[in-house]
Each structure stands twice: as structure tokens, then as C-alpha cells.
Amino acid sequence: MNISAKDVKKLRDQTGVGMMDCKKALTEAGGDFDAAVELLRKKGQKVAAKRADRDAKEGIIATASSDDGSTAVIVEVNCETDFVARNDDFQNFASSIAELILDKLPADRDALMALDLDGRTLESAITEMTGKIGEKIDVRRFEIVSTDGKAVSYIHPGSRLGVVVEIHGNGESASVGRDVAMQVAALNPVAATRDEVPQEFKDKEMEIARDAARNEGKPEKILDRIAEGKLERYYKDHVLTEQPFVKDSSVKVGDLLSDAGLEVKRYVRFALGD
């Protein structure tokens, strides 16, 4: 039977269910629109439609890593309440999404939703889970870190915050990489090194510092020196490799990495709702 795109769109508009599932339901129903709606209801997809306009701001951050440490993924999976976020079924579902991303490496969210998860698309699986749990569920974002070094992941207790760091070098990376990931989680640096801080941001910080010093009556000839000192302080507080190590403030993160024969290339930090 030929199911028109117009009919598929009409069913999607009424139910909020994905296009592929709408087309499948219409096909199974022999083109009968009401029967297709009933099929979707039986699969829990009517629940998803009813909750489509609800806010899903709770949830968890999940990660998955390849056995050789060359690839790690991080994903934010959302629901409506913290109660559901702590539910084992929801957490296991989020973990399965992370594993699916690791296995298939989709290019974007649309590609992810079309992937097969246990015999149906992820989009369908999300709809089914919505029907089972009774709350809107969504995959908000994900990122894949693939490297010829090591990709080390860390999930903060409570699963509302996660980090993946890319580490390179000849040293032992697992424990140091985890320490660096914990650092990123705790202090949320703006960049891995000072060279990665955008020049326009540096210029703005210098300008603010000069104006503040000028307003305090400092001589013009020392304003640049004062501003440079303020910028150095900013680096210490906000640049990963220049921050004091959270486990030992007498050591900079950059020194920790150097002593281990390692360097951090980049990091990804997901905090729920950011």
C-alpha cells in the first residue's frame, strides 16, 4: 500500500510520534488513520504525544568507552523528574544509549535517533520508554571523543555531571586522566591551556582590569602591569593546566601531567541542563 507523506505528516502532527513510526503504523493499519492512532496508543506512543510539550530538565549524564581507550562518548538523557532520573530502568536505558553511540558513532542527533536498538529505532525505543515510565524522555546532546591517545571518562556521583578528557603521551594515563577529569568536573575551566583562551576575551579582561585600576586612582604608567597581573590570576583560576590540583593545591594540573609524561589535548564537560 502506498502511504502518502501527507498522511504521515498528519499523523505525526496529531500524535507527536516520529515520522518513521507514523508511516509504519499507517502501513500496519492499511491506511486507516484512526486505526493507526490506536496502534500507536497501544504501543505507549500516545503517552509520548501527550507529554511532548512537557519540560524534560532532569535526567542523567552517561558515558561509554572502548576497551582500548581510544574512544569515549558522553550523552545527556533527560526526563521530567529527579525521581525518574534515579529509576534503574531509566538509568539502564541511558547507558544503553551511550553504548549505542559508542558502537555506531552517529554523525548527529538525527542519525542517532534512526539507529537500531534491540530491533527498533532509538526514536521508537524512547517512545516505548516514555509509555512505560510515564514521563517525557529526550536525548538532548552527545559528543564523541576519538583519539590516538586515551579518552578517559568520569561521572560525578549523582550522574548529573560527566567529563571526557583526551590525554596524550608515553606515561600511565588512566589514573592521571581520571584525576584531570575530576578536576574539570569540580572547577569547570574555560580552556585547557592559556593559548586556547580567545584573544578577544583576553583583551576584554585586560580592558576591565585597566579601567578598574584607573578608577582606583592608579597611575597610567602602571595600568598595563596591573592588568597583566589580573590576567595571570584569571589563568590560574580558570585555565585547566594552571589551576591548583584539587587533591593537592601545592601542585598545578600542568605539573601533574608533565610529571606523568602526559598532556591534555581537550576535554568535554556535560552538566545536566547546561
CATH for 234? 1.10.286.20
Res 270 pLDDT > 70: yes
Helical pair 33-42 and 5-15, crossing angle rounded to 10 deg? 50
Bigger pLDDT: 73 or 175?
73
The model's pLDDT over 224-252, given as tens digits with 9 standing for 90+, comes to 999 999 999 999 999 999 999 999 999 99
239 forms bridges with which residues in the sheet? 191
Instruction: Let me know whether 143 and 169 are in one domain.
Output: yes
Comparing CA positions, the residue from 27, 32, 33, 28 lying closest to residue 11 is 33
Instruction: Let me know whether 228 and 251 are in one domain.
Output: yes
Instruction: Let me know whether 160 and 82 are in one domain.
Output: yes
CATH for 29? 1.10.8.10
- Number of H helices and E strands in the chain, helices first, is 12, 10
Instruction: Let me know whether 101 and 161 are in one domain.
Output: yes
pLDDT band at 155 (very low <50, low <70, confident <90, very high): very high
What's the pLDDT at 16?
64
- Spell out the alpha helix ranges (H) of 55-189: 82-85, 88-104, 109-113, 122-133, 174-187
Virtual torsion, Cα 106, 108, 109, 110, nearest 10 deg: -90
What's the pLDDT at 45?
59
What's the pLDDT at 59?
97
Instruction: Let me know whether 80 and 177 are in one domain.
Output: yes
Res 201 pLDDT > 90: no
- Spell out the alpha helix ranges (H) of 43-121: 45-50, 82-85, 88-104, 109-113
- Count structural domains, the chain: 3
Bigger pLDDT: 250 or 25?
250
Provide the domain limits for residue 91.
58-186+267-271
Q: Which residue type sits at 1?
A: M
What's the pLDDT at 46?
60
Distance CA 197, CA 140 (A): 27
CATH for 68? 3.30.479.20
pTM of the model: 0.78
Instruction: Let me know whether 17 and 110 are in one domain.
Output: no
The model's pLDDT over 102-144, given as tens digits with 9 standing for 90+, comes to 999 999 999 999 999 999 999 999 988 988 888 889 999 999 9
Instruction: Let me know whether 135 and 171 are in one domain.
Output: yes
What's the pLDDT at 47?
55
Res 1 pLDDT > 80: no
Instruction: Let me know whether 178 and 78 are in one domain.
Output: yes
Helical pair 199-215 and 223-238, crossing angle rounded to 10 deg? 130
What's the pLDDT at 257?
95
Q: How many CB atoms lie within 10 A of CB 250?
A: 7
Helix (H) or strand (E) holding 188: none
